[in-house]
Structure 1
């Protein structure tokens, strides 16, 4: 009979590309993974790994076994989720990935509520861009990811994953105080399209979205500076070096020299939680989703500026 832990080790090597990366993902030593693979080779009577340069590659027999291992591990995860659902207890470990403003604006209150209501649940948070976190959920490295899309550019959920709405978040534009349009209540994105912009790093969901949005108004984007943190972006805006799109969720303090103006048409980020279909019945997933939605509902306008309100989504 095939041993589940040995199949999991082989699957991890296939997914992560090396024995050392598999060991890191499984939170064990490289030696432990190598031992599991050696035992699996003896168990199956087939050589599973071959040296390829400085690394290894899977043999044909290993590729065949990995295909079965994916199905077996998915069935095991579903069985474990069904047992948790039958028991109804919110226990165990849950790893959540989120992008920076969600980590700052949504996650702290949600984690505090989960710790108070479900002391048997251990939650771990990891900060990732949505383009990074979705593959991590798909291959089982992360249990739940908080991701985003925009009202003018929805994203498709990859096969094998499910999503649930958390909230909607409006974005404004941060302009240097000396900008000719800084005194306006509302500005059209087309009026700013030719300006210099400050955005996150290339390949991130926000940077790619900004480039496509500016191109939609028939202007080639001028992304002058690329930094990830909004506080750093605002420092550059305050110095008069460009504009930045500024979501309201998790918004940091606005420094002197920056004017925040509403955009027309309104730009809305839709924020979701995403998890694997096999884990859909886990009470921990349901509890985390409820806590995140409650955190979104609890958000209050900053000071008296109603434009900072985050609109919570209804339960599906």
Structure 2
């Protein structure tokens, strides 16, 4: 009989294209994935991976087996859901993904509450950006994900996924304390002509939102520094190397060298949880989403 864990490893390699990418998606080390594949080869007496340059490619047999794996893993998930329903309790592992500021500002109290209330729940957290999180939920690599989009930049979510709104988070323009606009309480895009921006890399939701919003106001943003981590953006900003747009969720107290200004209209991002529709009957999914909703209601009062 084929071991499901090994089958899952092969399926991940087929989906992600490499052992390293599969390991990252599964939360394993590359060597652990390689060992799983090697055991599966011995188990099936079939060569599944072939060396190609510095990487590997799937053999015809591996592609055939991986093609069946998706359906098999979906059936196993349904069986586990049914058993969990019969027990009437939230049990088992829940793989929860979230973007960086949600990992910092929302998940710690939510995960702590679940750990205290649901002793049989094994919650695992992965930091991942919203588009990738949606794909991972669709593929069964995450069970629930906290994602976001901006009101004028919606996030594509497959129809096979269920979603529940958590709330709205606002963002402010941050400027150095000595900036020409530092004493203003609010600004408009037109006030920011010629400013050098510090923002996330091109292709990210926040970068694309900033560029689109400025251009809608007929202002061409000058992106001087592309930096993923918000705290690092603040370090550049505090030393006068540009301005930035930072959300309030998960934002630490600002140093005295930085000022927060409201941007008009107010930049608003929508937070929501997504999971596979077919897993909606699983009690563990329900309690996880409920904990996220409760925690958001508390967090939003302090941001």
Q: Partners of 2:300 and 2:10 in 1: how far apart?
A: 48
1:158-216 CA-partner distances (Å, limit 9, x unpaired): 35333221111111111223333332232112321431111123333222322222222
Q: 1:38 corresponds to which residue?
A: 42
Task: From the superposition, tell whether residues 83 and 223 of structure 1 become closer, same or farther in structure 2 (CA, over 3 Å).
Answer: same
1:214 corresponds to which residue?
214
Task: Look up the match of 1:311.
Answer: none
- Note if 1:71 corresponds to 2:75: no
Asked if structure 2 preserves the Cα contact closer than 8 Å seen for 1:237 and 1:258, the reply is yes
Distance in 1 of aligned mates of 2:173 and 2:44:
57
Unaligned runs of 5+ in 2: none
Secondary structure of the 1:179 match is: coil
Task: Tell me by how many angstroms 1:290 deviates.
Answer: 0.8
**Which residue in the other structure is 1:237 paired with?**
237
Alignment of 1:97-246 (within 5 A): 97-246=97-246
Structure 1: runs of 5+ lacking an equivalent: 303-307, 309-316
TM-score (norm 1): 0.84
Secondary structure at the counterpart of residue 181 of structure 2? coil
Q: How does 1:10-21 map to 2 (within 5 A)?
A: 10-18=10-18
Corresponding residue number in structure 2 for 1:288: 288
Note closer, same or farther for the CA distance 1:29–1:200 as it changes in structure 2 (3 Å cut).
Answer: closer
**Structure 1 residues 111 and 89, CA gap change in structure 2 (3 angstroms):** same
Cα offset, 1:245, TM superposition: 0.9
How far apart in 2 are the matches of 1:195 and 1:2? 59
Instruction: Label 1:7 to 1:227 Cα distance change in 2 as closer, same or farther (>3 A).
Output: closer
User: Do the aligned partners of residues 81 and 232 (structure 1) sit closer, same or farther apart at CA in structure 2, a change above 3 Å counting?
Assistant: same
RMSD of aligned alpha carbons: 2.5
In the alignment, is residue 90 of structure 1 matched against residue 90 of structure 2? yes
Find the aligned partners of 1:124 and 1:296 in 2 and give their Cα distance: 19
What is the alpha-carbon distance in structure 2 between the residues aligned to residue 40 and residue 26 of structure 1?
A: 25
1:234-253 CA distance string (max 9 Å, x none): 23323222211121112211
Pick closer, same or farther for the CA change 1:8–1:26 going to 2, 3 Å: farther
Q: Tell me, in whole angstroms, the C-alpha distance in 2 between the residues paired with 1:104 and 1:217.
A: 32
Residue 298 (structure 1) aligns with: 298
